[in-house]
Structure 1
Amino acid sequence: MTFHGPQLITYADRLAGDLRGLRTLLDGPLAGAFDGVHLLPFYPPYDGADAGFDPRDHTAVDPRLGSWDDVRALAGGRTVMADVIVNHVSAESERFRDVRERGDDSPHAPMFLTLGAVFPDGATEEDLARVYRPRPGLPFTVMTLGGRRRLVWTTFTPDQVDIDLRTPQAWEYLTSVVDALTSGGVTMLRLDAVGYTGKEAGTDCFMTPATDAYTERIVAQAHERGAQVLVEVHGHHTQQIEIARKVDLVYDFALPPLVLHALTAGDLEPLAGWLQIRPANAVTVLDTHDGIGIVDVGPSDLRPGEPGLLAPEKIDALVERIHENSGGTSRQATGAAASNLDLYQVNCTFYDALARDDRRYVLARLIQLFVPGIPQVYYVGLLAGANDMDLLAATGVGRDVNRHHFTPEEVTAALEHPAVRGQLAGLRLRSSHAAFGGTFEWDVDGTRGCLAWTAGEARATLTFDVADGTFAVHATGDDGEHVVLAHTDVTA
């Protein structure tokens, strides 16, 4: 098994009902397309306040989805990635419920962050204004702990209570999580929200030196147990480059907006600039369970004076094009229009972001598959899903537009969709062709591009034009080089 092949990103319940159903799907209709799967949170409750990213028990499998035996079975013959939610736990977790009841008398009290834990001498207005948060407002929630009113640190939502990685209680907890996952067959650990863990007075409390130390400690634990680590951080592109030098894998979050910009503005230069400097040890994505990141290509307050990969006016134009292409549905799901506010992303399926243009959509996926790294494909994107406005209306959570619950009938129908068939053809080539284990070359000339892989006599090439969305994939085989996929295969 190699780690370079494509991986599916999915919730077990929203694609296949449960873990056994997911395994059946991967071994059946999706066979040959994926070498691995990023299994989004399956801990109880998988359907909590933040779709499983608020675990009450991070060491267990929600019995409604299956068991650890099902996870181990899923790992048979493929890589399984799972999330280590480093920054927080559910406010309804057993440990925090004990702190609510007993306050400082609880043995778990040091594990949880309050305002006073970071600012024991008190916080000034300047201190609080400096704190970086991905949503508007301050990251604190008033709670009663042991009869005393406290300001508890809640970076994301009041249902997710931040933990204090300066304490042995926090490390006892995190070690138990890493042990549970790796003994359950998980060999890749995704560190969720790790950038927010290093809270220190006098800083913006994001990506501090303490964050680096905590990350190194978890990476060491993972390596001792035979696992690799993927660090999840949204921020200025130079931060990703720096982080990549210290860990196994980072996300290439800049790729999705750069590909969208190329295909909607007919401009390949920003993407070409990124290809020159991006880290190779990356996981590539177009879409994920979160929105389409914008901060990853723009200037950032975290790096004052440093330009982004896209100029601000180009970012503004891209966001407007996404809203237009989606018929305005993404505007209803983004920013102040929906709860669970995010300052750095647009909530939209990638298919809707490209106006459901099958040709350009498959081209976007092919660019991702040819760029170096481990390609991950989100389940909604794989099935060419549109924005789920009914789910948004039911929950009011913006990111739910891209978190559809597929019925078995919907999955069967989607597998016949031209854009889905085109993606699967590209995925199967990426998963099996020897060329992708070799050397990568690329060239851009105006609106035309060429991405190529060569390993000995094996060669795979993608040529395309972002002006009209045309493309062709050539690959060597037993009978010489031939066209594997072209834009005519996915459009009438």
Structure 2
Amino acid sequence: MMKNKVQLITYADRITGKDINALTDLLNGPLEGVFGGVHLLPFYNPIDGSDAGFDPIDHSAVDERIGTWQDIQTLGKEYDLMADLIVNHVSAQSFQFKDVLKNGKKSAYWDLFLTKEDVFPKGMSDAEQQAIYRPRPGSCFTPIACEDGETYEFWTTFTDNQIDINVKSSAGIAYLDNVLTKFSQNNVNIIRLDAAGYAIKKAGTNCFMLDQTFDYLDKLSAQANELGMETIAEIHSHYQTQVEVAKRVNMVYDFALPPLILHSLFTNNSDALVKWLGISPRNCLTVLDTHDGIGIIDAGPMGDKAGLLNAAQIDNLVETIHANSHDQSRQATGAAASNVDLYQVNCTYYNALGTSDFDYLLARAIQFFAPGVPQVYYGGLFACENDMELLATSNVGRDINRPYLDANIIDQSLTKPVVQGLLKLITIRNTRSAFNGEFNVAGSGNCCSLKWQQGEQAIELKVNFESREALIIEQNENEQITTSLSDLLS
């Protein structure tokens, strides 16, 4: 089972400027005792594709520029280690797809990839195409000419460099089996099912989070469990979908939490946050920032389903992020950048809060007191600001929050009061036994309380958003200790 301690999300090379061994040294050196585990973002060949490793040419190989499977084993011996099983797609540069380009339907790998014809053998109507849910604008099909003289429409949910896998075919099953086995042999004990909501396509549906998708997640999760690994479903969708998915896998992400915390801080109102924490899945990972943008769809309405926030509140949330970041986020979001996301705002969480040290620490405190195991992204750990230089170089919106660090930057960042305060907060979350007990949330308007209790041990976060007063109250059988959140910054 995953430790109930704060985990790090990071790329091996972008946090250290080096490799997997350097990351292990960082965790055992300057960050010794801080994290119980690490989500190691794609380390596959190559780490620097069009989507920073989420478009693997070889999902079963470690990029030799940052290490080997032995290095992965070493890291996994000391820490909970999470890796991404990229369920939905593989790179167009993969040897399998190159063979398809050369041989067309005669390729031994033809059945690994999904075409429009596979799902719509009798053709697809305009209405059926319009019904398909896609995270980015435009068609989800890319016509590609093969050397057999034919042009085939391949399913490309994300980009034309990410060709969707036919997960129902024997080739698709064997491909993912091979990666799962490789993980289990190298001390990876947690699998993040990346983009799993898109894996199953069916004519006449929106091809996203279908009943068959739930069944598929059941089977994939059971398969990983048999190999000794837990599974985490990575799905951006309506909040009710997350509640349902949580029943089918070991854990889900609480992607509604980041926008709800921002909303509470922007409006000084905790109502939506309190409502969500009363019903949110308990078997979850919590985040504020990740390698992707700040999810918006998870808290908002979808179709005829009301959201935790209404459309006007979502609009205010997005515009406030843009204002707080001096429009830097606007330059990295939507049509302004090449990776057009319909459901995310690309910005560091620190910049989304206008670089307010107190508000940022308060957001982390709420995250740590919410149900679930907290994860902290490497950029968020060091309170990094938007990397506009990297964005200008790559024109990839999410690069605004995917900085390249090194030892000097880390050393300097560790002296910042906000980073020191965050490290103190992580220590509290990791060491208080009450966080293994029962959770209770209460409040309305500008105040809320998040409380944990196990036996005689209790710990509570009390927040007044209007006055910006936040207190951590610890109770044991002998004494009560009250710490003002602002004291952690001093």
TM-score by length of 2: 0.97
Partners of 1:368 and 1:375 within 8 A in 2: yes
Summarize deviations over 1:466-491 as a string: whole Å, max 9, x none.
12332222335898443456213326
Q: How far apart are residue 391 of structure 1 and its match?
A: 0.7
Query: Matches of residues 82-93 of structure 1 in structure 2 within 5 Å?
Result: 82-93=83-94
Summarize deviations over 1:57-98 as a string: whole Å, max 9, x none.
111111111111111111123200000000000111111111
1:76 matched residue in structure 2: 77
1:33 matched residue in structure 2: 34
Letter in 2 for 1:463: K
Give the secondary structure class of the aligned counterpart of 1:235.
Answer: coil
1:265 matched residue in structure 2: 267
Query: Matches of residues 376-455 of structure 1 in structure 2 within 5 Å?
Result: 376-455=375-454
Give the secondary structure class of the aligned counterpart of 1:273.
Answer: helix
Query: Matches of residues 20-419 of structure 1 in structure 2 within 5 Å?
Result: 20-147=21-148, 148-301=150-303, 305-419=304-418
Gaps spanning 5+ residues in structure 1: where? none
Summarize deviations over 1:227-277 as a string: whole Å, max 9, x none.
100001111111001111111111100000000000111010000110111
Letter in 2 for 1:86: V
Q: How far apart are residue 32 of structure 1 and its match?
A: 2.0
Measured in 1, the distance between the counterparts of 2:489 and 2:324 equals 19
Give the secondary structure class of the aligned counterpart of 1:367.
Answer: helix
Partners of 2:271 and 2:444 within 8 A in 1: no
Measured in 2, the distance between the counterparts of 1:429 and 1:477 equals 15
Letter in 2 for 1:14: R
Measured in 1, the distance between the counterparts of 2:455 and 2:33 equals 23
Q: How far apart are residue 210 of structure 1 and its match?
A: 2.4
Give the secondary structure class of the aligned counterpart of 1:110.
Answer: helix
Partners of 1:112 and 1:161 within 8 A in 2: yes
Letter in 1 for 2:221: V
1:9 matched residue in structure 2: 9
Measured in 2, the distance between the counterparts of 1:32 and 1:410 equals 20
Measured in 2, the distance between the counterparts of 1:26 and 1:157 equals 34
Measured in 2, the distance between the counterparts of 1:203 and 1:325 equals 39
Larger displacement relative to structure 2 (252-261 or 434-443): 434-443
1:472 matched residue in structure 2: 471
Give the secondary structure class of the aligned counterpart of 2:117.
Answer: helix
Q: How far apart are residue 10 of structure 1 and its match?
A: 0.4
Partners of 2:446 and 2:464 within 8 A in 1: yes
Partners of 1:81 and 1:186 within 8 A in 2: yes
Measured in 2, the distance between the counterparts of 1:468 and 1:414 equals 28
Measured in 1, the distance between the counterparts of 2:483 and 2:62 equals 40
Partners of 2:274 and 2:448 within 8 A in 1: no
Partners of 2:362 and 2:485 within 8 A in 1: no
Give the secondary structure class of the aligned counterpart of 1:60.
Answer: strand
Summarize deviations over 1:331-365 as a string: whole Å, max 9, x none.
11111111110001111100000000000100000
Measured in 1, the distance between the counterparts of 2:123 and 2:488 equals 64
Give the secondary structure class of the aligned counterpart of 1:471.
Answer: strand
Q: How far apart are residue 36 of structure 1 and its match?
A: 0.5
Partners of 1:190 and 1:231 within 8 A in 2: yes
Report how many aligned residue pairs link the two structures: 488
Q: How far apart are residue 445 of structure 1 and its match?
A: 4.3
Measured in 1, the distance between the counterparts of 2:366 and 2:28 equals 26
Partners of 2:104 and 2:110 within 8 A in 1: yes
Letter in 2 for 1:111: L
Gaps spanning 5+ residues in structure 2: where? none
Measured in 1, the distance between the counterparts of 2:296 and 2:140 equals 21
Measured in 1, the distance between the counterparts of 2:112 and 2:343 equals 29
Larger displacement relative to structure 2 (137-146 or 91-100): 137-146
* CA spacing shift, 1:474–1:31, aligned 2, 3 Å: farther
Letter in 1 for 2:325: S
* CA spacing shift, 1:2–1:142, aligned 2, 3 Å: closer
1:19 aligns to 2:20 (yes or no): yes
Larger displacement relative to structure 2 (219-228 or 445-454): 445-454
Partners of 1:243 and 1:250 within 8 A in 2: yes
Partners of 1:426 and 1:485 within 8 A in 2: no
* CA spacing shift, 1:209–1:258, aligned 2, 3 Å: same
Q: Displaced runs of 4+ in structure 1, greater than 4 A?
A: 476-479
Larger displacement relative to structure 2 (479-488 or 397-406): 479-488
Letter in 2 for 1:417: K
Partners of 1:251 and 1:284 within 8 A in 2: yes
Letter in 2 for 1:237: Y
Partners of 1:34 and 1:428 within 8 A in 2: no
TM-score by length of 1: 0.97
Partners of 1:12 and 1:18 within 8 A in 2: yes
**Identical pairs, percent:** 47
Q: How far apart are residue 423 of structure 1 and its match?
A: 1.1
Partners of 1:422 and 1:485 within 8 A in 2: no
Measured in 1, the distance between the counterparts of 2:481 and 2:435 equals 16
Partners of 1:359 and 1:470 within 8 A in 2: no
